[in-house]
Amino acid sequence: MARIYLSSTFEDLKDCRAAAYRTLRKLGHDVISMEDYVASGQRPLAQCLADVAGCDACVGLVAWRLGFVPAGHAQSITELELLEAERHGLPCLVFLLDDDAPWPPAMVDDDRRPVLALRKRLRDRFTVAAFHGASELAGAVATAAARLFQHRDEAAEDALPEDIDLYRNCVGRFAGELERDIRFYGLATAALVAATLVALALALAASPESTRWLIGAGALVFASTSPLPAVTMRAVRKKKALLDGYADELRKERPARAAVQSVRRFLEGQLQQAGVRAT
């Protein structure tokens, strides 16, 4: 049915992981978990994030251990996996061990401040559910997964004709605006480079030999440290490519409702960035 990534620390939640894994498998889902790497919290981050991106949903379990923090990162690998799932628009089912649930002291971090901060961030960012043990977690995971994929199946129905027409028009309008932005920033980048070259040529023609090298170096530094038009144009091109993908989906004779909803989220995000309240 679906491909689900199971994320958590390992030793402290071994029984809970096993319960969640069995439950999801019984429901017919394909489960990807750290057991597919090694029986350790220190699995390769890049591979984990790639696997998260290839899934349909992510299940996160957190008790009283922060877990492995990869080099160069401030967050634990469990949090990074959930954030990666969120970045790809995947639903995240997050389960926190209840604050009052009995738990072995050996499975609690000596300094609980980092894991307390993590639990707060997860509560603020996701809809979370509490559990007291493996058996309760299994039931909660089964219920949440069933509801999630029931809604997903409903969303996969065909979109209404009026929705299709509305969002095709919106896509066309935003695509036209982005095309104009691309032309504008392209011209701005060309003008910046041309102005730099003209200033350099004039300075070299009018200045003594002793200062020409300094002026040339300054002009090159100016050109290399003024990337705003080029950087902005790349960002606009990336946004245009995303929108083109939605447009291709909507050009189908009977696009899925999920495609229309994706366009809705994109357009609402554009309106929010422009300071306009979507209605």
* pLDDT tens digits, one per residue of 69-92: 988 899 999 999 999 999 998 999
Please name the residues in contact with 123: beta carbons below 8 A apart, sequence gap of 6 or more.
Answer: 96
| Same domain flag for 135 and 200 | no
Structure-token match 């050109």, residue found: 223
Dihedral over Cα of 81, 86, 89, 91: its sign: positive
* CA dist., res. 126 & res. 115, Å (int): 16
Of 155, 174, 196, which closes a domain?
A: 155
pLDDT at position 167 is 58
* Alpha carbons 34 and 271: distance in angstroms, whole number: 39
Same-domain status, 72 and 111: yes
Query: Could you tell me if 236 and 151 lie in one domain?
Result: no
Domain assignment of residue 72, yes or no: yes
46 and 141 co-located in one domain:
yes
Whether 84 maps to a domain, the answer reads yes
DSSP assignment string, 79-106: HHHHHHHHHTT--EEEEEE-TTS---GG
Q: Which residues of 12-23 are buried (b: 16+ CB within 10 A; e: fewer)?
A: bbeebbebbbeb
Task: List, edge to edge, every strand of the sheet that includes 128-131.
Answer: 30-32, 3-8, 57-62, 92-97, 128-131
Q: Lowest mean pLDDT of 41-55, 142-156, 165-179, name the range.
A: 165-179
DSSP string over 222-265:
HHHT--HHHHHHHHHHHHHHHHHHHHHHHTSSS-BHHHHHHHHH
Number of CB atoms found within 10 A of residue 63's CB: 23
What string of DSSP letters covers 101-155? Answer: S---GGGS-SS-HHHHHHHHHHHHHS-EEEESSHHHHHHHHHHHHHHHHHHHHHH
Domain endpoint, select from 118, 135, 155: 155
CA distance 63 to 115: 8
Q: Read off the tokens for 122.
A: 């997860």
Question: What is the CATH classification number for the domain harbouring 116?
Answer: 3.40.50.10140
Q: Which range marks the domain in which residue 220 is found?
A: 161-273
Residues 111 and 62 in one domain: yes
Same domain, 80 and 127: yes
Between 169 and 70, where is the model more confident? 70
Contact in structure between 97 and 131 (CB atoms under 8 Å): yes
Residue 278 within a domain? no
Token pair 């705003």 is found at 228
Q: Sorting pLDDT into bands at 50, 70 and 90, what band is 120?
A: very high
Look at residues 88, 122, 155 and tell me which one is the last residue of a structural domain: 155
Model confidence at 39, pLDDT cuts 50, 70, 90, reads: very low
Residues 216 and 145 in one domain: no
For the chain, the domain total comes to 2
Q: Are residues 214 and 195 in the same domain?
A: yes
Burial 87-97 (b: 16+ CB within 10 A, else e): eeebbbbbbbb
Length of the chain: 279
Over residues 240-258, mean pLDDT: 55
User: What is the pLDDT, as a whole number, of residue 215?
Assistant: 56
Same domain, 242 and 104: no
The answer to whether residues 28 and 151 belong to one domain is: yes
Position 162 pLDDT exceeds 80: no
Mean pLDDT score, 207-227: 54
Tell whether 279 is covered by a domain. Answer: no
Is 214 part of a structural domain of the chain? yes
Q: Are 112 and 165 part of one and the same domain? A: no
Contact call for residues 92 and 85 (beta carbons, < 8 A):
yes
3 state DSSP class of 5: strand
Residues 165 and 94 placed together within one structural domain of the fold: no
Report CA 116 to chain centroid distance, whole Å: 23
Q: How far apart are CA 165 and CA 176, in angstroms?
A: 17
Mean pLDDT value across residues 23-40: 79
213-224 mean pLDDT: 54
Give the pLDDT band of residue 166 (cuts 50, 70, 90): low
